[in-house]
Amino acid sequence: MKDVNWVALVVFVLLFGFITWLGFAAARWRRGDLDQLHEWGLGGRRFGTVVTWFLVGGDVYTAYTFIAVPALAFGAGAVAFFAVPYTVIIYPLLFLAFPRMWQVARKHSYITAADFVKGRYGNRWLALAVSVTGIVATMPYIALQLVGLQVVIAAMGVAGKGLVGDLPLIIAFVVLAVFTYSSGLRAPAAIAIVKDTLIYLTAFVAVIVVPIELGGFGHIFSAVPAQKLLLAAPGAHTTGSYGVYITLAIGSAMALFLYPHTMTGIMSATSGHVVRRNAALLPAYSFMLGLLALLGFMALAAGVDKLPEYAAGFAQYKANFAVPALFLHSFPSWFVGIAFAAIGIGALVPAAIMSIAAANLYTRNIHREFINRNPTDKQEAQMAKWASLVVKFGALVFVIFVPAQYAIQLQLLGGIWIIQTFPTIIIGLYTRWFNDWALFFGWLAGTVLGTAMAAVMNFTPTYPLAIDGWTFPGYTALYTVVLNFAVAIVLTPVFNAIAAGTKRDQTAAVDYHA
């Protein structure tokens, strides 16, 4: 076990203490009645362009992004850069579709995507499918934020077995739970500004200083093995890694803003115009993401797996320890403390938003729909607060007692599951042609087949689809959502003919336009 890096740890604790104070102080920022769910869970829909930019960026670009994207470049090579085009592809969809979602949600006081589904289709079971999918897909995402936090805590030498080793993580998430409970979405919105400032600082300093230390980008790229520097050319009768790269980018783009935490960030904006402006401004994060991916190649050039900082004591983190090892090797301890604080705070911000989003879904679309159909505003908000604590506690227990690999596998499954809501939500913003029960069975077919395909491939995200002598390796989520669409299209006229389903729709065409 490494000795404790006290300088880095002190800087980390000071910055963590500051954001803890900020999380509690946020309850008084743009003050509202936190006994109402839209105030606690959506910040009263009062966040303008700048705050929304930080908030949405904060919950999309997480601590695990900071760790995992360069780790993938370090371990698998060029395929990791699919994360850059996918975050570019998503913003036209954000620009076109999500101002409509914001507008209809504000008109009808919808707080979750499942609220919209219930209002649009009048089918509580379809809304339940969307809400359960969102909660189940979000839980391992929260757990992965804890994995990212674990990595940087261990990198500072604060590691051990049993309760002693887990105590820093427990303390961090008790603090998170308390300020989220007291301040709601205002807490991560305020903290996201600090988090993103630190991450931008860290990324820009790293891509300047590390290449200078390693002899320039030419030396870095020459040190990367050829098989990792470029995608492998496809063989005969297969699209090979090209198909994997393209489908990962498209499928990930389709799924990203369907997650409850990103949807919550969008719905907290003050207007649809704010959403459009953010669609134009958020690609700045894609530039930063490209810089972060390059850190994986820098770690390869530095040979971090042969450095003392990559010692056997951290073998459990494997490639995920590449970036912390690179920082420990390349920077003074005080800057390491800043960089690790950026990652640590980058875990708390999305984890807070994710827990709030999951709590909103449970409260509005499960508890209110099936358990207590007439709660007061205060009871509804209180239930969401308690639910957010349960979600965070569940993620913490999962990380402490279950190997991290299972959290990673479940998060990969989460992408397959959440994309199955695309036909219901995104297409539902434009047309009511689909029968609600046809959408339900499309969702069910895509979810079941996607889970089975992932299990067959040992929970890797891709599947080698074989058609007429050709093999098309690609993202399982994209393949299964195509099946989902096909089932919904085929069954819609069938169910309409037998008068199954309902045409009840709370919304009108005018509701979707600012």
The DSSP line for 381-416 is: HHHHHHHHHHHHHHHHHHHHHS-HHHHHHHHHHHHH
485 domain residue, yes or no: no
* Span 407-438, pLDDT tens digits: 666 777 889 999 999 999 999 999 999 999 99
CB atoms within 10 A of CB 453: 17
Torsion (CA) 110, 111, 117, 120 in degrees, nearest 10 = 10
Which H or E run contains 342?
helix 333-362
The share of the chain scoring above pLDDT 70, in percent, equals 93
Whichever domain contains 235, its CATH number is 1.20.1730.10
The mean pLDDT value for 313-341 works out to 81
Both structure tokens of 69: 């994207």
The mean pLDDT value for 135-142 works out to 88
Phi, psi of 247 (to 5 degrees): -70, -35
- Distances from the Cα of 489 to the Cα of 255, 433, 455, 483, 496, angstroms: 20, 9, 27, 10, 11
- Distances from the Cα of 510 to the Cα of 25, 100, 104, angstroms: 39, 10, 9
The share of the chain scoring above pLDDT 90, in percent, equals 43
pTM across the whole model? 0.91
Pick from 6-20, 76-90, 324-338: least confident: 76-90
Report how far residue 92's alpha carbon sits from residue 89's, in angstroms, rounded to the nearest whole number.
6
453 domain residue, yes or no: no
* Residue keyed to tokens 């990673």: 408
Both structure tokens of 11: 């800087």
Which H or E run contains 340?
helix 333-362
* Span 261-280, pLDDT tens digits: 999 999 999 999 999 999 99
Which of 375, 372, 368, 462 has the alpha carbon at shortest distance from 415? Answer: 462
159 domain residue, yes or no: yes
122 three-class SS: coil
Residue 305 is which amino acid?
D
Contact 221, 297 (CB under 8 A): yes
* Span 200-242, pLDDT tens digits: 898 889 989 999 999 999 999 998 888 888 888 888 888 888 9
Q: What is the DSSP letter of 366?
A: I
Both structure tokens of 340: 């690790």
Which of 338, 294, 343, 6 has the alpha carbon at shortest distance from 151? Answer: 343
Pick from 67-71, 459-463, 498-502: least confident: 498-502
The mean pLDDT value for 467-473 works out to 89
Tell me how many domains the chain contains. 1
472 domain residue, yes or no: no
Report how far residue 420's alpha carbon sits from residue 416's, in angstroms, rounded to the nearest whole number.
7
Report how far residue 103's alpha carbon sits from residue 33's, in angstroms, rounded to the nearest whole number.
22
Burial class (CB in 10 A: 0-12, 13-18, 19+), 196: buried
493 domain residue, yes or no: no
β-pairing, 462-467 vs 470-475, is antiparallel
The mean pLDDT value for 310-333 works out to 74
pLDDT of residue 1: 45
474 domain residue, yes or no: no
Secondary structure in 3-state letters for 482-513 = HHHHHHHHHHHHHHHHCCCCCCCCCCCHHHHC
pLDDT of residue 474: 92
Q: H helices then E strands: how many in the chain?
A: 22, 2
466 domain residue, yes or no: no
Residue 464 is which amino acid?
P
Which one is predicted more confidently, 500 or 432? 432
- Distances from the Cα of 457 to the Cα of 407, 454, 475, angstroms: 16, 5, 12
Contact 480, 444 (CB under 8 A): no
129 domain residue, yes or no: yes
Which of 367, 502, 366, 356 has the alpha carbon at shortest distance from 436? Answer: 502
Q: Which domain holds residue 50?
A: 6-405
Report how far residue 435's alpha carbon sits from residue 433's, in angstroms, rounded to the nearest whole number.
7
- Angle at CA 59, nearest 5°, toward 263 and 406? 100
